[in-house]
Amino acid sequence: MSALDPGVKRAILEAAKALEAESIAALERLVRCPSTLGNEASALDEMARNYEALGLAAQRIPTVPEKLQSVPGFSPPLMSYEGRDNVAAIHTPREAKGRSLVLQGHVDVVPEGAADLWITPPYEPSIRDGRMYGRGSADMKAGDISNVMAFRALQLAGLQPAAQVQFHSVIEEECSGNGALACMMALPKCDAVIIPEPGPNYDAIYTVEVGVVWAWVTVTGRPVHVRDMHAGINSIDAAYRISNLFREYEAEMNRAENIHPAFFGENHPVNVNFGTVEGGEWNSSVPTRTRIGMRVGVMLGRTAQQVKADIEALVERARQDETFRGAQIKLEFQGFMADPCVFDQQAPIVQAVRRNFSETAGHDLRDYKASGLTDGRFFQLYQGTPVACFGPDSDSIHGIDESVGLESFHSITRTIALTMAEWCGVEKA
Ligand SMILES: [Zn+2]
């Protein structure tokens, strides 16, 4: 890799510095978009405007289940994809001399939870003590803006990448990954991918991540008046007992002999979460039907399909158990069917990112073995493209008062700018 000319490097860093206030304003605009599942349109439009402001044509990339269902990595959809097309943009150099690059990010956020618990409203960005608070500020709207502002920094320095650069803004990273898969399949393969997903509470680079399977269990009991309670089958009680079977499974999966060496030292990397429950009709009626939605982690070395089979076996055990007294148990798979993934740390893109981050931030990116997942797996596992997945320090992602460290956010922007210039080469804008 040709080292960056010192003059070029200085010009890019000065440009990035000059863009810091603009970067914060752009992040605020994106955080104001309440882009939960099914409501991504405003955030997608905002990213389209950001791409247009770079002088790039924004294109819409639909997620079409019929086209993707036989593609490795596809997850069973949760809802229709109509009106929720992903947004992409492609920079084409005058003369392609360097290596091509994808700058990817997701625009969807998880629900804000109890909005009344937030110090400031979740979709009204607030800056306190060098951090921006708001749902999605860290996961991963800061990264989305870093991708844009890195390119903008090159432009402000009078430059542009001398290779193709693709921007992908995708939906459903938080529940299926199908948006990322749709964009990957629709556009030409590049030489590397950068995904600025947040670290934990420090700037970090993902070295490995678990897989995830989403499953839905619906128990149908027999409703009666509570005065005849023992003649009925209580679906809430039955669902609770099934959840205990999953807790036993979780404990088994976290036993030392079931943990891949890449996760040694991580406390409890395979998590089962009961995320939603709906059921019952009336406090004085034995409840007819209860549905629980769960997320089951997949340890490295196993596949999503194997864990799916484990879940099917667990549910079958409950069906055969006489103490459930004939409750009907339905099992469905919708959402994540995601394999675990190792990110090649010897890949030149990863090494360039680590070096540029250390130089520009004054400390190193720390390794992060993630017990959650990113869209990186698609490129790494199914396309064979190296991925550098790294990002700013975050707090309370998926929780209350989510925030991102702004100094860390700027460091990530500078790192992407320098890495893009080095990886792609530069030409006069
Ligand atoms: Zn994320």
Distance CA 376, CA 211 (A): 11
Q: What's the CA-to-centroid distance between 261 and ligand 1, angstroms? A: 25
Choose the final residue of a domain: 290, 318, 338: 338
CB 75 within 8 A of CB 168: no
Which domain range does residue 98 map to? 6-209+340-428
pLDDT of residue 222: 87
pLDDT of residue 232: 86
Tens of pLDDT, residue by residue, the chain (429 residues): 557 999 999 999 999 999 999 999 999 999 999 999 999 999 999 999 999 999 999 999 999 999 999 999 999 999 999 999 999 999 999 999 999 999 999 999 999 999 999 999 999 999 999 999 999 999 999 999 999 999 999 999 999 999 999 999 999 999 999 999 999 999 999 999 999 999 999 999 999 999 999 999 999 998 888 888 788 899 999 999 999 999 999 999 999 999 999 999 888 999 999 999 999 999 999 999 999 999 999 999 999 999 999 999 999 999 999 888 889 999 999 999 999 999 999 999 999 999 999 999 999 999 999 999 999 999 999 999 999 999 999 999 999 999 999 999 999 999 999 999 999 999 999
Q: What's the CA-to-centroid distance between 369 and ligand 1, angstroms? A: 15
pLDDT of residue 228: 81
65 lies in the same domain as 187: yes
125 lies in the same domain as 184: yes
pLDDT of residue 172: 98
Asked if residue 267 is part of any domain, the answer here is yes
Distance CA 82, CA 116 (A): 32
Q: What's the CA-to-centroid distance between 186 and ligand 1, angstroms? A: 22
Which CATH number fits the domain that encloses residue 227?
A: 3.30.70.360
Asked if residue 53 is part of any domain, the answer here is yes
pLDDT of residue 263: 94
162 lies in the same domain as 275: no
DSSP class of residue 383 equals: I
Cβ neighbours of residue 428 closer than 8 Å, sequence gap 6 or more: 158, 159, 160
288 lies in the same domain as 384: no
Largest CA distance in the chain: 83
Is 380 exposed, middle or buried, given 0-12, 13-18 or 19+ CB atoms closer than 10 A?
Answer: buried
CB 164 within 8 A of CB 93: yes
Distance CA 265, CA 263 (A): 6
Q: What's the CA-to-centroid distance between 218 and ligand 1, angstroms? A: 29
19 lies in the same domain as 122: yes
Where b means 16+ CB within 10 Å and e means fewer, 118-144 reads beeebbebbbeeebbbbbbbbbbbbbb
User: How many of the other CB atoms lie within 10 Å of CB of 275?
Assistant: 10
Using a CB cutoff of 5 Å, list residues around ligand 1, an ion. 139-140, 197
pLDDT of residue 138: 98
Of 424, 338, 352, nearest to 97 by C-alpha is 424
Asked if residue 1 is part of any domain, the answer here is no
Q: What's the CA-to-centroid distance between 106 and ligand 1, angstroms? A: 7
Distance CA 394, CA 253 (A): 28
102 lies in the same domain as 24: yes
Q: What's the CA-to-centroid distance between 381 and ligand 1, angstroms? A: 18
101 lies in the same domain as 190: yes
Of 424, 423, 413, 421, nearest to 19 by C-alpha is 413
Q: What's the CA-to-centroid distance between 304 and ligand 1, angstroms? A: 20
Which CATH number fits the domain that encloses residue 24?
A: 3.40.630.10
pLDDT of residue 224: 83
107 lies in the same domain as 199: yes
Q: What's the CA-to-centroid distance between 172 and ligand 1, angstroms? A: 10
Q: What's the CA-to-centroid distance between 204 and ligand 1, angstroms? A: 13
> What ranges make up the beta strands (E) of 162-225?
165-170, 193-195, 204-209, 211-220
202 lies in the same domain as 264: no
Choose the final residue of a domain: 283, 310, 338: 338
Question: How far, in whole angstroms, is CA 280 from its chain's centroid?
Answer: 33
Query: Beta partners for 427?
Result: 160
Total structural domains within the chain: 2
pLDDT of residue 2: 59
Q: What's the CA-to-centroid distance between 139 and ligand 1, angstroms? A: 4
Q: What's the CA-to-centroid distance between 198 and ligand 1, angstroms? A: 7
18 lies in the same domain as 81: yes
Asked if residue 132 is part of any domain, the answer here is yes
Q: What's the CA-to-centroid distance between 338 and ligand 1, angstroms? A: 14
Asked if residue 231 is part of any domain, the answer here is yes
Asked if residue 370 is part of any domain, the answer here is yes
110 lies in the same domain as 204: yes
266 lies in the same domain as 295: yes
Choose the final residue of a domain: 306, 321, 338: 338
Q: What's the CA-to-centroid distance between 199 and ligand 1, angstroms? A: 10
Asked if residue 297 is part of any domain, the answer here is yes
Asked if residue 182 is part of any domain, the answer here is yes
